[in-house]
Amino acid sequence: GSTFHKLCSLFAPTTPCNEAGEKTPLKLTAAENPNNVPNDIKSILASLRQISSTIEDIKKGNADILGRLTSIEAHLSDSDEWLLAAEAKIESMARDIESLNSRLNDQENRARRNNVRILGFPEGIEKGNPTRFLNEVLPALLKLPDNTDLLIERAHCSLAPMLAPGQRPRPFVVMLLRFPVKELLLKAARELGSVQWDRHNIMFFPDLSKALQDCQRLFLLVKKVLRDKKIKYGLFYPATLKIMVDGRTSSFGSVEEAEKFCLLGRWVGPPCRLQGAPP
């Protein structure tokens, strides 16, 4: 009401002229007569000055924030580039590690290519000299030709703690000097089917790395189905299953391919999957 009109009258513009008749700059009555300003108007003016100062501070703060945002955006852009480069490098290193691991596993199995694992002999039967014991027992056990020299370089029980009575005995790991002798032992054991020694079932296996054993173990269910159907097959190094049907041989490097082949063949049917093969 009255206060607003007073404020308007105090700040009413005047346009005085100088002696030449020219207009002088605009002045406010309140600036010329500060004593005429009421206290409530002075309070409003002080508040306006404080608000103006605060607005200036906010503008400076916004400018600072804008600068920081610009800097952050630049850093984020650089970080994205670094992240993409790091991801590409990690993928490359993962491929290299996989390749090196595959080569290392291959070298490990090649170092064991002349080895045979023999399971079933009672614990301690070798009496501290497994090489002598196996040289005496294996030729007669496998019905090898007379005067067959096994050429055992060394033999020992697998590296595991001594077992308690009643537990399954540790296998012998036998390293032969010649690869053909290893093949001869495995072939003789396969032809005999069941090898018995002093009422113990003796089994012969190639000595493979754990990684390769795990790969070959994936084919167990498929092999069982093939045996039940009396279909000829063979598992070859490193982990390739070959199935012989109607005079044709099919090779499979993965259990999924072998299972698909089994499911498509009417001679096998669904049991291959129903028996719990991995999905």
Residue 105's nearest CA partner among 271, 267, 216, 194 is 216
208 contacts 112 by C-beta, under 8 angstroms: yes
Please give the pLDDT value at position 22: 55
Q: Out of 177-181, 257-261, 271-275, pick the least confident.
A: 271-275
Is it true that 115-207 and 212-274 share their CATH fold? no
Q: pLDDT grade, residue 16 (50/70/90)?
A: low
Number of Cβ within a 10 Å radius of residue 188? 19
* Residue length of the chain: 279
Residue 73 CA to residue 57 CA, distance in Å, equals 24
pLDDT in tens, 237-249: 889 999 998 888 9
Radius of gyration for the alpha carbons in the chain, expressed in angstroms and rounded: 46
- Lookup result for tokens 């703060």: 61
* C-alpha to C-alpha distance for 279 and 271, rounded to whole angstroms: 14
Per-residue pLDDT reduced to its tens digit, 101-159? 999 999 999 999 999 999 999 988 998 899 999 999 999 999 998 888 999 999 998 87
Q: Which amino acid is at 184?
A: L
Residues of the chain with pLDDT > 70, as a percent, come to 81
**Which whole-number Å values give the CA distances from 184 to 148, 187, 237, 272, in the listed order?**
10, 5, 17, 32
- 180-193 average pLDDT score: 93
> Mean pLDDT: which of 69-73, 155-159, 165-169, 179-183 is highest?
179-183
Say what percent of the chain tops pLDDT 90.
41
Residues 224/228/231/232 CA torsion (nearest 10 deg): 50
- Interior CA angle at 163 toward 159 and 168, to 5°? 95
User: Over the stretch 204-233, which tens digit does the pLDDT of each residue have?
Assistant: 999 999 999 999 999 999 999 898 888 899
**DSSP annotation of 170:** P
Domain 115-207: give its CATH superfamily.
L1 transposable element, RRM domain (3.30.70.1820)
pLDDT at 74 over 60: yes
Q: Cβ contacts of residue 44 below 8 Å, gap of 6+?
A: 7
- Average pLDDT value for residue range 94-99: 95
Please state, in angstroms and rounded to a whole number, the distance separating the CA atoms of residues 14 and 25.
Answer: 9
pTM: 0.60
What residue ranges do the domains of the chain occupy?
32-111, 115-207, 212-274
- Say yes or no to pLDDT of 278 above 60: no
Fold of the domain built from segment(s) 212-274: Rec A Protein; domain 2 (3.30.250)
pLDDT at 261: 86
